[in-house]
Structure 1
Amino acid sequence: MRAVVQDRYGAAPEGLLRCAETARPQIGPGEVLVRVCAASVDRGTWHMMAGLPYPVRAAGFGLRRPKNANPGRALAGVVAAVGADVTGLEPGDEVLGVGAATFAEYACARADKLAKKPANLSFAQAATLGVSGLTALQAVRNHARVTAGQKVLVLGASGGVGAFAVQLAKADGAEVTGVCSTTKVGLVRSLGADRVVDYTREDALDGGTQYDVIIDTGGNRRLADLRRALTATGRLVIVGGETGGRWLGGTDRQLRAQLLSGFVGQRLGSFLTSENATDLGALAHLCASGDLTAAVDRTYPLAETAAAIRHMLDGHVRGKVVITV
């Protein structure tokens, strides 16, 4: 099969990722072989490609060199084969979810990290749900616990996670303010945000409005600034914020928030996304019913995966970048 491969870690995709002929992956008893139709790019793609911050390597992705052939994870495609212990899925089923080395014609995925793809969702759209969609769903519903009537602020509202978070908070009845740059205001407004703040012209954290919930998917603001914009019992959920540090890469802010949370009335913190079929199924249902839209900025063919990652790194993306196979 054709697949993107990398032999070493590196921060720049150019000269690192290349297409090659490789063997199809072998599946275990609880796994599924998926003929990949689309795979999406997210910030986690870069972390796995670069092996940064260093704890990424210790988390099972390879200490000295990448464990997987390529950094792709979110996918959508057609089941080609199932392991002996797999139930509920069979060859020919169209699926979406999370796998390993998904920038390839075929990829392996655990059955409990897949859900069936709705017929009205394209493969490119479906591929956006596996990482970014899951993170947004769990941020809004499990950790921020958004309810009707609350004021919710989404930082990084035009990104992969942020675009989903805006829609999910609106679906739960919240009054949503999205923060983004000038060229992305139209997208965020089209996703249903009640108010859109262009951060190049206005500071959403100036204290003029207090929010019940702040979901930070792309900012790197000080905790003091974020807390000032929260109500006394508000919730802050941090799921983004890059510093480029090789050891912590921005997670130090998340750790400080969780430590502080035990001493103040506000709930501050972060979480690790749970990759599971139940939440993937919930996202698929929301998309099938029209309550959730997967915003695809641009698609690239498999051979241009490095260019797709560069486009994401350059900060021009509105929604998600997708690799089509």
Structure 2
Amino acid sequence: MRAIVTNKYGSPDVLEIMEVDKPIPLKNQVLVKIHATSLNFGNLVLLKGEPLLARVAFGLLKPKYSIPGGDIAGQVEAVGQDVKQFQPGDEVFGDLSGCGWGGLAEYVSVPETALASKPSNLTFEEAAAVPMAGVTALQGLRDKGRIKPGQKVLINGASGGVGTFAVQIAKSFGAEVTGVCSQRNAEITRAIGADYVVVYTEEDFTQNTKRYDLIFGVNGSHSISAYKRVLSHNGTFIHVGGSGSQLLQSLIQGPFLTMNGKQNIGTLLQRPNQNDLYIMKDLIETGKVTPVIDRCYKLSEVQAAFHYFGEGHSQGKVVITV
């Protein structure tokens, strides 16, 4: 089978398309013929080996996982004897980040718990855009943010892969949503349901008088103290992405900044979860969430796809058709 392979850390130019052995499913595994995959921040970490701390999990000197790719959508080709949930012919989508990656290939063998039935109203390309970004937004808003109906929620980085899901999921919970994005992405942010849009080149939301019950920081470089200033009395800030200094501030300064009050500052580490994939499936099939795709690339164009994604300006997800 064809697969994208890398044996060293570096730029997208280290990625090569090669012929490798087609996997054989173990007794508890599902063999999936992959139709599409999508790129996430984790793919860049696995590619570059940065930040260096990530190499503890991904390999100190070279990548532990030679075939990258976390999100997949495809069709079950074979199942091991102990598999109960799927059978050949089933259409599935899933997150491979917890079981060895390998999505940038024509086939992959994974535990059945890494997969869920594909939303019936999506193409394979659309379904491949969902798992990691959609579940990140869901876990951040629901579990870390404890979002409630009627709350004022701000999504900083509303037009990116995670942000476009976060806007729609927050609306599905009954929140009033403000999306922060560039002028280029203002229209799409309104179209997916944001009640208010702040164009960051025209306005600094941390300097206005509005207060938010929940701030979901997907992007940006504001200090934690600036976020804290626009939180409501009982507000919560969740760091999902953004500058490295912001991550350190949320981990180190956050507990001290909030220890004497009712505000909360936290950081999200998304974890693959089959039940959450099925929740995303339900949100999509009931029309509450729709994946936003910026560009689609062929497997042979994977270097160009990574270069574009790495620029950090994509409107929604970058998808690769396998």
What's the TM-score bracket when you normalise by the shorter of the two chains?
Answer: over 0.9
Q: Aligned runs of 1:1-325 on 2, under 5 Å? A: 1-10=1-10, 12-14=11-13, 16-59=14-57, 61-99=58-96, 100-243=101-244, 251-260=247-256, 261-325=258-322
Aligned residue pair count: 317
The 10-residue stretch of structure 1 (29-38 or 252-261) with the greater mean CA deviation from structure 2 = 252-261
Contact 1:188–1:196 under 8 Å retained in 2: yes
Deviation, structure 1 residue 93: 0.6
One-letter amino acid of the structure 2 residue matched with residue 41 of structure 1 = L
Matches of 2:147 and 2:295 in 1, distance apart?
A: 30
Instruction: Give unpaired runs (5+ residues) of structure 1.
Output: 244-248
One-letter amino acid of the structure 2 residue matched with residue 13 of structure 1 = P
Deviation, structure 1 residue 258: 4.7
The 10-residue stretch of structure 1 (27-36 or 273-282) with the greater mean CA deviation from structure 2 = 27-36
Matches of 1:313 and 1:217 in 2, distance apart?
A: 15
RMSD: 1.4
Deviation, structure 1 residue 313: 1.3
Instruction: Give unpaired runs (5+ residues) of structure 2.
Output: none
One-letter amino acid of the structure 2 residue matched with residue 190 of structure 1 = A
Which structure 1 residue ranges, 4+ long, deviate > 6 Å from structure 2?
Answer: none
Q: Percent identity?
A: 42
Cα distance change on mapping 1:123 and 1:155 into 2, 3 Å: same
Cα distance change on mapping 1:280 and 1:148 into 2, 3 Å: same
The 10-residue stretch of structure 1 (111-120 or 292-301) with the greater mean CA deviation from structure 2 = 111-120
Contact 2:224–2:250 under 8 Å retained in 1: no
Deviation, structure 1 residue 257: 5.0
Deviation, structure 1 residue 86: 1.7
- Encode CA deviations 1:119-154: one digit per residue, 9 max, x unaligned: 211111111111101100111111111111110000
Contact 1:46–1:71 under 8 Å retained in 2: no
Deviation, structure 1 residue 87: 1.1
Specify the SS of the correspondent of 1:205: helix
Tell me which residue corresponds to 1:246.
none
Matches of 2:288 and 2:129 in 1, distance apart?
A: 15
Cα distance change on mapping 1:83 and 1:251 into 2, 3 Å: farther
- Encode CA deviations 1:194-233: one digit per residue, 9 max, x unaligned: 0011000111111411000000001221011000010111
Contact 1:258–1:270 under 8 Å retained in 2: no
Matches of 2:29 and 2:221 in 1, distance apart?
A: 38
One-letter amino acid of the structure 2 residue matched with residue 293 of structure 1 = T
Matches of 1:203 and 1:6 in 2, distance apart?
A: 41
Deviation, structure 1 residue 242: 3.0
Give me the TM-score of the superposition, normalised by structure 2: 0.95
